[in-house]
Amino acid sequence: MSSSSSKMTLFYMLTNSFELWPDAYECSENTKYPETRWPRFGIYLISSGSILIVLYSLCFIAIFKVKKLSPAYQLMLILSVFDITSLSVGSVITGFLTYHGIFFCQYPRFFYISGCIAMFTWLTNCVTCIILAIERCAEVNPRFFLYFLFERRVFKLVLLFISVYGINSLMFSKPVIFSPEYSTFVFDPMIGKDPTLYTNSWLTVNNLMIAVSSTTLYFYLCYYLIFKFGYSTSMWLYKSKRQVFISDFFGIFRKFTKFQIVMQGVIMCLFHSAAACVYEYMAYFSSPLYLIVTGQTLWQLASGCLSVVYLTLNRTIKNSVVKMVIPKAIRKKFGLHIGVEELLEIERAADNGGVSSLNAAGFIVKFDNFV
């Protein structure tokens, strides 16, 4: 790291009485303050970001309540922390700054620290996403060449690597700075300094890595499930080998299970790769306004998409969230029977001549379906 780059890090700020390096971040008296305000986009970012944070927080609690965390769930738990933090900065705080058109020179330390947190969450999130993709490939194919990473002792080193990488990205990477003129995070605070000072090669390598590796890994996962594997017992789906369905409909269920797995991979890969590619283009080429807004929106969706994925395609998390937010009496009234104890009640009622509950497809819900 060059001398100038080291002076633009959070470590330098913390070890220099919270003073920013003046050669890169000092505002002169002649600095012109932009008067751009985006009230509608600001309201969108605040409202949509708040909704995603609430949904993701419920998913976080559901994942945290899993007693025996497999590597997949541990990675999902870590991702949820980074994503919720990223949504707080990239949606709520960004929306507030966008709505009011606040400029870097008005609150330089706040902008700087927010940029450090944004950079930290994105860099660490990308690495964790790649490791989760590897884990999912290893889970459906025990012969996958990186399967050893998720053995108990080795996986502790993987978690240590994520921690070290995260700390380094927070303390020793140049931050991004919010620009009210474009309503997004850029490197140059646009205060009249040399733009080449703010180039961040770390982010370039990271974005290329997430775009290439996540696409490759999830393509492999989808290919393996569709063409090589007949039926998955993945930990990140809520199901069992002992699921009992009417045989005529078992093929339909198996196809739907594959669809769930494939869609989780496609959605996760799509937004992260797209956001990385758009931001890399913006860093080196003059970009139209619509592309800049698209990049900001893709970053928000990359941070929040997993909450929607969990609540629609992951039955374990979805059922846990339903139990948290809907009282048992209401669930019983509308047939939303979740959990072992409630299913046992249905079984007893059926055995005693009561009316058994039907699922959405019209079949009797059996306990074995959810073991």
Res. 276: pLDDT tops 50: yes
Among the ranges given (25-34, 129-138, 141-150, 261-270), the one the predictor scored with the smallest mean pLDDT: 261-270
Res. 345: pLDDT tops 80: no
The whole-angstrom separation of Cα 256 and Cα 253 is 5
Classify the phi-psi angles of 94: left when phi > 0, otherwise alpha if psi is within -120 to 50, otherwise beta: alpha
Range 31-325 classified under CATH 1.25.40.10:
no
Classify the phi-psi angles of 190: left when phi > 0, otherwise alpha if psi is within -120 to 50, otherwise beta: left
The predicted structure's pLDDT at residue 259: 66
111: pLDDT confidence band, cut at 50, 70 and 90?
A: very high
Res. 120: pLDDT tops 60: yes
| Nearest by Cα to 166 from 86, 275, 56 | 86
Region 203-232 average pLDDT: 80
The predicted structure's pLDDT at residue 258: 60
Return the C-alpha torsion angle 143, 144, 148, 152, nearest 10.
-80
Q: Domain spans of the chain? A: 31-325, 327-371
Region 80-100 average pLDDT: 94
Among the ranges given (189-198, 235-244, 270-279, 303-312), the one the predictor scored with the smallest mean pLDDT: 235-244
DSSP for 19-85 reads PPPHHHHPPPTTPPPP----HHHHHHHHHHHHHHHHHHHHHHHHHHT-SS--HHHHHHHHHHHHHHH
The predicted structure's pLDDT at residue 249: 42
Among the ranges given (145-159, 311-325, 338-352), the one the predictor scored with the smallest mean pLDDT: 338-352
The predicted structure's pLDDT at residue 12: 93
The whole-angstrom separation of Cα 243 and Cα 366 is 9
Of 313 and 114, the structure prediction assigns the larger pLDDT to 114
Region 316-320 average pLDDT: 84
Collapsing DSSP to helix, strand or coil, 178 comes out as strand
